[in-house]
A and B are shown apart, each in its own frame.
Chain A
Amino acid sequence: MANQDRVSEEDLRRLCEFLYRRTGLILGEAKRYFIERRAADRIAATRAADFASYFTRLRGDVDGEIEQLINAFTVNETYFYREDHQLRCLTTDLLRERVRQRNRREPIRIWSVPCSTGEEPYSIAIWLLENWPEVDAYEIEIVGSDIDTHVLEAARLGDYGKRALMRLSPQLIERYFVVPAPERWRILDDLRQSVQFTTVNVVDPAQTRPHGQFDIIFCRNVLIYFDDASRRHAAENLYENLMPGGFICLGHSESMSRISPLFSVRRFADAIVYQRPQGEKG
Chain B
Amino acid sequence: MPLVRRGLPVGEEARTSAGDLLELLARGSVDERWSAARRIAGELGDALALDAALASETEPRVREAIFTGLARIGSPESIAALALRVRSDDASIRTGALDALRTIGVGVLPYLPALLRDRDTDVRLLACDLAIGLPATETTSLLCQVLVDDPDANVCASAVEVIAEAGTPEALPSLRRCAARFPDDSFLAYAIGIALERVAAPSSNADV
A residues engaging B (CB < 8 A)? 3-4, 6-14, 17-18, 21, 36, 49-52, 55-56, 59-60, 107, 125, 128-129, 135-143, 190-191, 193-196, 198, 205-206, 209-212, 227-229, 231-233, 236, 260-262, 280-282
Say which residue of A9, A143, A262, A281 sits within 8 Å of B208 (CB atoms). A9
Identify A196's interface contact among B6, B132, B198, B207, CB under 8 A: B6
Q: Is the C-beta of B17 less than 8 angstroms from some C-beta in chain A?
A: no
A129–B31 touching, CB < 8 Å: no
* Distance between Cα atoms of A7 and B8 in the complex (Å): 51
A261 touches B64 (CB 8 A): yes
Chain A's nearest CB lies how many Å from the CB of B207? Answer: 7
Q: Are A205 and B3 in contact (CB under 8 A)?
A: no
**B150: min CB distance to chain A, Å:** 23
In the complex, chain A residues whose CB is within 8 Å of the CB of B177: none
**Shortest beta-carbon distance, B26 to chain A, in Å?**
19
- Residue on A with the closest CB to B95? A261
**Which residues from chain A contact B132 at a C-beta distance below 8 Å?**
21
Shortest CB-to-CB span from A32 to chain B, Å, is 8
Q: Does B206 contact A (CB under 8 A)?
A: yes
Q: Are B34 and A282 in contact (CB under 8 A)?
A: yes
Residues 21-62 of chain B, each 1 if its beta carbon lies under 8 Å from chain A, else 0: 000000000110011001000100000000000000000110
Q: Which residues of B contact A212 (CB under 8 A)?
A: 8-10
Give chain A residues whose Cβ lies under 8 Å from the Cβ of B6: 107, 141, 196
Beta-carbon contacts of B95-106 to A below 8 Å, as 1s and 0s?
Answer: 000001011110
CA distance A3 to B65 in the complex (A): 49
Residue B5 interfacial (CB < 8 Å): yes
CB<8 Å pairs between A and B, sample of 25: A3-B205, A6-B204, A6-B206, A6-B207, A7-B203, A7-B206, A14-B198, A36-B208, A49-B204, A50-B204, A55-B136, A60-B135, A125-B3, A136-B2, A137-B2, A139-B4, A141-B5, A141-B6, A206-B13, A229-B68, A232-B100, A260-B64, A262-B61, A262-B64, A280-B30
- Chain B residues with Cβ below 8 Å from A10 are 197-198, 201, 206
Q: Are A8 and B136 in contact, with the CB atoms below 8 A?
A: no
Q: Is the CB of B65 within 8 A of A236?
A: yes
Could you tell me if A17 and B1 are in contact, using CB atoms closer than 8 angstroms? no
- The reply on B165 being an interface residue by CB < 8 A is yes
Is B205 a contact of A11 with CB atoms below 8 Å? no
CB distance from A263 to the nearest CB of B (A): 11
Complex Cα distance A260/B63, Å?
12
Q: Which residue of B lies closest to A11 (CB)?
A: B203
What range describes how many residues of B lie at the interface? 35 or more
Given known contacts A280-B61, A281-B31, is B201 in contact with A8 (CB within 8 Å)?
Answer: yes
Query: Cβ of A231: which chain B residues have Cβ within 8 Å of it?
Result: 103
Known: A59-B136, A205-B42, A211-B8. A190 touches B103 (CB 8 A): no
Among A12, A18, A52, A138, contact of B204 (Cβ-Cβ < 8 Å)? A52
Task: Provide the bound-state CA to CA distance between A261 and B38, in Å.
Answer: 16
Which single residue of chain B is at the shortest CB-CB distance from A136?
A: B2
CB of B30, distance to nearest CB on chain A (Å): 8
How far is B208's CA from A56's CA once the two chains are assembled, in angstroms? 21
The 5 A-B residue pairs with the shortest CB-CB distance in the complex, in nearest-first order: A50-B204, A8-B206, A194-B3, A10-B201, A228-B103
CA distance A136 to B38 in the complex (A): 39
Given contacts A6-B204, A135-B2, A210-B10, 14 further A-B contacts (CB under 8 A): A9-B206, A11-B203, A140-B3, A141-B4, A142-B3, A191-B1, A194-B1, A196-B5, A205-B38, A205-B42, A229-B72, A231-B103, A233-B68, A280-B31
